[in-house]
Structure 1
Amino acid sequence: MPLLEVERLTAGYGEAVVLEEMSLSVDDGEGLAVLGRNGVGKTTLMLAIMGHARRLSGSLRWQGTEIGGTPAYQRARMGLGWVPQERDIFPSLTVEENLLVAGRPGAFGLKDAYDLFPRLKERRRNMGDKLSGGEQQMLAICRTLMTNPRLLLLDEPFEGLAPVIVEELEATLRRLRAEKGFATVIVEQHAEDALALSDRAIVLDRGKIVLEGRSADLLADFAQVRRWIAV
């Protein structure tokens, strides 16, 4: 049974349709990359999974249970973890307070966050708005991990970051999957990076899946991916 199963999902905002009859699944511990140009529905897919976009039809199942009508906060409690593109850290809280406010019982705790990103421990008394972009992204990832999710959804996690920080985050995501067994869904403009971090990938265009396959195969024949993501 898939951890997450999306079946013929149509979703959007108000009466506007962004996704049309989309179907996909994510197994426990699996990594899925979601690729495509800007405006094709990648973020809307993530928001629909989390319950922040309007589901017009179709099914969303979590471990076999329908969650299409479940509020977003309950989905988070069930094990869906969301790292938004905007990061949305609390600027008036310290690093440590940002982490503790999200904490839920489970294997991942404050010590694990500091082990994962020692820089956060060094900055633990700094306010959220006093961090660099890379530090904010580290905090956003760890704050979500403090909820002890089974599935980690990451929307453009490397946007605007220096290459050295991107390399550090990529290594961390690989470590998380290897050691903790998280499933991941990653939306990323840098398609080759996303493919290197995932097992399978889908490419979206105009709210529909136009290409899918094993990430290694798509990397080996990247021209077919470039056809859909080139501006």
Structure 2
Amino acid sequence: MALLEIETLTSGYGEAIVLEEMSLAIAESEGLAVLGRNGVGKTTLMLAIMGHIRQFGGTVRWSGRDISRLPANARVHLGIGWVPQERDIFKSLTVEENLMVAERVGRFDAAAIYDLFPRLRERRRNMGDKLSGGEQQMLAIGRALMTNPKLLLLDEPFEGLAPIIVEELEDTIRRLRRDYGFATVIVEQHAEDALRLSDRAIVLDRGRIVLEGLAQDLLDDFDSVQRWIAV
């Protein structure tokens, strides 16, 4: 049984349809890369999984259970963690307060997050607006982990970050998958980075899946990906 299964999902904003009859499944501990040009529906897919936008049709299932009508907070409690592109950390709270506001009982607590991101331990009393972009991204990931999810959704996690920080975050994502068995969905403009962190990939265009396959196969034939993602 799939951890998350989407069947003929049609979703969008207001009366506007963005995703059209999309179907995909994610197994436990599996990594999926979601690729495509800007505006093709990548973030919309993440928002639809979280229950943040209108669903016109289709079904979203979590471990076989239909969650299509569940609100976002209920989906978090089931085990879906969300790291938005904007990070959305609370800038008027300290690092530690940002973590504690999301805490749920499980293997990840503040101490575990500090082990994962030692920089956050050093800055645990800093306000959110006193962090660098890389530190804010670490905090956004740490806060999502504090909900103790089974599936982690990462929307453009490397955007605007220095290469050394990107490398550090990539190592963290690999560790989360290897040591803790997380399933991940990564939306990323840096397609090769996302493919190296994933088992499978889909490429979107105009709200539909136009290419899919094993991540390594798509890396080996990257020209086929470039045809869909090149600006």
Considering the TM-score relative to the shorter chain, is it more than 0.5? yes
Correspondences of 1:29-48 after superposition (within 5 Å): 29-48=29-48
State the one-letter code of the partner of 1:200.
Answer: R
Partner of 2:182: 182
Partner of 1:100: 100
State the one-letter code of the partner of 1:204.
Answer: L
Partner of 2:226: 226
Say whether residues 1:133 and 2:143 are aligned partners. Answer: no
Paired with 2:18 and 2:151, the residues of 1 have a C-alpha distance of: 23
Paired with 1:39 and 1:53, the residues of 2 have a C-alpha distance of: 16
Paired with 2:213 and 2:172, the residues of 1 have a C-alpha distance of: 24
Paired with 1:190 and 1:126, the residues of 2 have a C-alpha distance of: 30
Say whether residues 1:148 and 2:165 are aligned partners. Answer: no
Partner of 1:10: 10
User: Which secondary structure does the structure 1 equivalent of 2:189 belong to?
Assistant: coil
Paired with 2:107 and 2:167, the residues of 1 have a C-alpha distance of: 25
User: Which secondary structure does the structure 2 equivalent of 1:5 belong to?
Assistant: strand
Paired with 2:72 and 2:103, the residues of 1 have a C-alpha distance of: 17
State the one-letter code of the partner of 1:31.
Answer: G
User: Which secondary structure does the structure 1 equivalent of 2:194 belong to?
Assistant: helix
Partner of 1:164: 164
Partner of 1:59: 59
Paired with 1:111 and 1:176, the residues of 2 have a C-alpha distance of: 15
User: Which secondary structure does the structure 2 equivalent of 1:38 belong to?
Assistant: coil
Partner of 2:205: 205
State the one-letter code of the partner of 2:126.
Answer: N
State the Cα RMSD in Å: 0.3
Q: Matched residues, percent identical? A: 75
Paired with 1:87 and 1:13, the residues of 2 have a C-alpha distance of: 21
State the one-letter code of the partner of 2:134.
Answer: G
Aligned length: 231
State the one-letter code of the partner of 2:205.
Answer: D
User: Which secondary structure does the structure 1 equivalent of 2:29 belong to?
Assistant: coil
Paired with 2:29 and 2:103, the residues of 1 have a C-alpha distance of: 22
How does the TM-score come out when normalised to structure 2? 1.00
Partner of 1:112: 112
Paired with 2:46 and 2:101, the residues of 1 have a C-alpha distance of: 23
Partner of 2:195: 195
User: Which secondary structure does the structure 1 equivalent of 2:17 belong to?
Assistant: strand
Partner of 2:75: 75
How does the TM-score come out when normalised to structure 1? 1.00
Correspondences of 1:84-95 after superposition (within 5 Å): 84-95=84-95
Cα deviation 1:144-168 (Å, max 9, x = unaligned): 0000000000000000000000000
Q: Which runs of 5+ in 2 are unaligned?
A: none
User: Which secondary structure does the structure 2 equivalent of 1:102 belong to?
Assistant: coil
User: Which secondary structure does the structure 1 equivalent of 2:101 belong to?
Assistant: helix
Q: What is the deviation of 1:53? A: 1.2
Paired with 1:53 and 1:154, the residues of 2 have a C-alpha distance of: 17
User: Which secondary structure does the structure 2 equivalent of 1:212 belong to?
Assistant: strand
